[in-house]
Every structure is written in structure tokens, then in C-alpha cells.
């Protein structure tokens, strides 16, 4: 399993629209490559349908290839659909790849630090709602961080997704604890990446005009 996050970072609403459009392209690429996708969490933009960030779990033999094609910054060249006459026409979003099983932080998950609870799935869906106790709440005991996953129909699958989501959130917490110097270095790196996009799309139809070579 690989986690892929598309994010507008602190960009304006045009960047949130770019995340929405990029997600549509990503989902088509995953379907074509036989890669299963599972949305784990998302943050909405200010306008309906737009996304400030979305986190997906990718699974399948081609998942690493698909994820690497997106990794880095993504540029969308298009006049603002929200602010006519606005001078800026290039909008950037980020694509971050995270492998939950990799020892990427000092907060690597240990089985003894995890507590799992099973509960009945809830929410809309009528006759399609899962009636079994397959939903899972996972808690990282040392930090108290907790997530609930109910998207899959088996406890095993939901536990696996919950563990991956916890690992991702712990990685985020580790980044927040980084020093000011490290943060400044990251910001400088991000500024360079804005001029070296991994993929470039153009126009309201979000048509790709450049992509990395295979």
C-alpha cells in the first residue's frame, strides 16, 4: 500500500480547484493501471467540490509507478475562473508520497502502542450500509491520536487502512516538531520546486502538456 496526498498547501482557491481536477486525472490513471484507490481523508476548499487536500491509499502492482509520476509539484496554467482579469495564470499544488511501512520517522508504529476497537459502521446508505461490526477505531496510545475507518467491509481491511492513516498522521506530527531552520530549508526547497513541476496541465479542461518520461 502507498499513500498519495494531493494538497493546495496555503494556496488560493484556484489551487483547491487544481487539486479537485488533479484528483480526477489521478483516479482515471489508477483505473487504467489496475490500481485500487481508497480515500482516507480530505479537507474541503471554500467553494463546493473543491479540495484543499485529499489523501488516498493506492494498492496494486502498478501503485508505485503511478505514485512516482505524481510526486513533486504539479502546475496548472489557466486564467483564474474566480477572479476575471487576475494577472496570475500559473497555480501550483503538491503531491506527496508516503509508504506506511517505511521507517520514515522516529514515530514508527509499534504493535504494542496500538489499540483497536471494533464498532458498527454508521452513516447514510440505506440497505447498502454494512450491518456488521466491521468499523475500526485505532488509537496510538503514546500520543492519544485516534482514527476511525469504516470504508471496507472487513475488519482486517479497515485495520490495515487505520494503521496506514495513523502512520501518515504521526509523520505529520513529526514534521510539525521540526526546528525552525529545517522549516526554512523546506520552504526554500518548495520555492524551487514551484519552478520545476513534475507535471504540467493547461486550460479549464486540465489537459496535460508535459509529463515525466517513463
**pLDDT 10s digits, 128-173:** 444 556 788 888 888 888 888 876 667 777 888 888 888 877 776 7
* Alpha carbon distances (Å) from 41 to 30, 61, 65, 92: 18, 23, 22, 21
CATH code of 2-99+182-210, in short, is 3.30.70.1660
Matching fold, domains 2-99+182-210 and 111-176:
no
* Alpha carbon distances (Å) from 185 to 43, 48, 95: 26, 34, 18
The answer to whether residues 6 and 30 touch, using CB atoms and an 8 Å cutoff, is no
Indicate the Cα dihedral angle 61, 65, 67, 69, nearest 10°. -160
- What is the percent of the chain with per-residue pLDDT over 90, rounded to a whole number? 39
Q: Which strands make up the sheet holding 72-77, listed edge to edge?
A: 36-44, 51-59, 2-7, 90-98, 72-77, 199-202, 207-210
Cell numbers for 48: 463546493
**pLDDT 10s digits, 118-130:** 887 665 444 444 4
Annotation: CATH topology of 111-176: Double Stranded RNA Binding Domain (3.30.160)
* Length of the chain, in residues: 214
pTM comes to: 0.65
What's the DSSP call for residue 204? T
- Mean pLDDT over 89-115 rounds to 72
Domain ranges of the chain: 2-99+182-210, 111-176
Q: Is 95 helix (H, G, I), strand (E, B) or coil?
A: strand
Amino acid at each position: 500500500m502507498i499513500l498519495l496526498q494531493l494538497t493546495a498547501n496555503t494556496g488560493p482557491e484556484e489551487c483547491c480547484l487544481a487539486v479537485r481536477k488533479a484528483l480526477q486525472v489521478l483516479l482515471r490513471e489508477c483505473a487504467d493501471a489496475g490500481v485500487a484507490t481508497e480515500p482516507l481523508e480530505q479537507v474541503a476548499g471554500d467553494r463546493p467540490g473543491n479540495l484543499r487536500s485529499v489523501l488516498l491509499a493506492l494498492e496494486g502492482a502498478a501503485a508505485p509507478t503511478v505514485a512516482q509520476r505524481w510526486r513533486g509539484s504539479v502546475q496548472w496554467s489557466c486564467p483564474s475562473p474566480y477572479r476575471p482579469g487576475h494577472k496570475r495564470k500559473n497555480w501550483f499544488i503538491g503531491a506527496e508520497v508516503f509508504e506506511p511501512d517505511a521507517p520514515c520517522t522516529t514515530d514508527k508504529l509499534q504493535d504494542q502502542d496500538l489499540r483497536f476497537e471494533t464498532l458498527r459502521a454508521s452513516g447514510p446508505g440505506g440497505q447498502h450500509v454494512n450491518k456488521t461490526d466491521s468499523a475500526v477505531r485505532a488509537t496510538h496510545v503514546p500520543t492519544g491520536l485516534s482514527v476511525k475507518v469504516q470504508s471496507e467491509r472487513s475488519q482486517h481491511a479497515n485495520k490495515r487502512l487505520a494503521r496506514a492513516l495513523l502512520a501518515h498522521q504521526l509523520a505529520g506530527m513529526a514534521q510539525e516538531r521540526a526546528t525552525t531552520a529545517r522549516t526554512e530549508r523546506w520552504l526554500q526547497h518548495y520555492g524551487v520546486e514551484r519552478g520545476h513541476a513534475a507535471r504540467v496541465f493547461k486550460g479549464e479542461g486540465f489537459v496535460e502538456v508535459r509529463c515525466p518520461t517513463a
